[in-house]
Amino acid sequence: MIEMHYDNPAFSPDFHDNSGLRIYYTPTLREYSADIWMVGQNVDLMHLIPPNESAFKTYGFCFGECTKAGMDEDVYVFAAMLHGHLAARQINLQQYRGDELIDELKDDNYDFNLQETRILATENTFKPGDSYVVTCTYNTVGRDEVTRGGDGTVQEMCLVFVYYYPKKTKIDYCTSTPSLASYWEFFNIPYVEGIEDYSVYTYSHVVNSDPETLRIGLQNVTDRAKRYNYCFGSTDLNLNEDHFELNFPEWFDPEKTMVAPDVCSVDDDDDNDPIGRGNTLMAGCYGVITTIALCLLFV
């Protein structure tokens, strides 16, 4: 399968695409088949980011309860694609084993227009029971309304597509989202029986809050809310339904990191910066030489 995204905001009639796909066949199969997990914040209405924030973080969890239920053996991660939309500025993927942070992949200068799959310098072992955390930092300065999760580019995502082998797990995607009950608690939303769609009901109350209540409430949701644990396979079967609503994990420390801040970080307010918000991968396929070269080129 190939997925193509096109952008023609002016609806110009003379834009043409000549992309193609060349497929090769071989009788000699590789030893292993690979697959992709989608991990992070579930793409839904309740992924909410307040307006006029320069660095608002959200966290998406792939809980160990899910990987323990959906995996029978170790797998080996060899690549990853970090994905957000126009407000995203930083994306960070962390792997935890128990309460220990054991690996990290980060982009401190995420640019929606420069997305790519990054081949890891060293394959990483992922064991049943390990957890992933995807942290996304957003800049919504200049936006007057709440930014919600969704497929549109002015809506947001916080995901990482993890490439691994061998293809022997039951998991297709492993995501989370803050529970509705947590929103009700932090925004003092009354529970009413018989509501047709509680997500829409909750969303309406949240986005109509006064600016200070909105900012504080969404910060509390981000930092403390229980999470719905979405652990699904190819048949849309919830592999971990006995652990659907989980507490905010005590083992996660937002301040903990294995990678130094990006030495090539750019000023988001400088419209003339030649790099823009170009990707600088602090762990992954770009080596030290590439990073140094970019720094020297634009100093």
140-193 per-position pLDDT tens digit: 999 999 999 999 999 999 999 999 999 988 899 999 999 999 999 999 999 999
**Cα gap 7→120, rounded to integer Å:** 29
For the chain, the average pLDDT equals 86
Note the pTM of the prediction, 2 decimals: 0.82
Give the residue with greater pLDDT, 275 vs 88.
88
Per-residue pLDDT tens over the stretch 210-250: 999 999 999 999 999 999 999 998 766 677 777 799 999 99
Q: How confident is the model at residue 66 (pLDDT cuts 50, 70, 90)?
A: very high
- pLDDT-derived band at 292 (thresholds 50, 70, 90) equals very low
C-alpha 245/C-alpha 135 separation (Å) is 20
Strand 173-178 with 35-41, pairing: parallel
What token pair was written down for 218? 């969404």
Q: List residues bridging with 59 in a β-sheet.
A: 135
Task: Give the whole-angstrom CA distance, residue 120 versus residue 105.
Answer: 9
pLDDT at 236: 64
Mean pLDDT lowest among 23-32, 64-73, 203-212, 240-249: 240-249
The alpha carbon dihedral of 212, 215, 221, 224 has a sign of negative
Nearest to 280 by CA among 33, 87, 54, 106: 106
CA nearest neighbour of 187 among 167, 212, 168, 170: 212
Question: What percentage of residues in the chain have a pLDDT greater than 70?
Answer: 85
User: What is the Cα–Cα distance from 6 to 125, expressed in whole angstroms?
Assistant: 36
Question: What is the identity of the amino acid at 297?
Answer: L
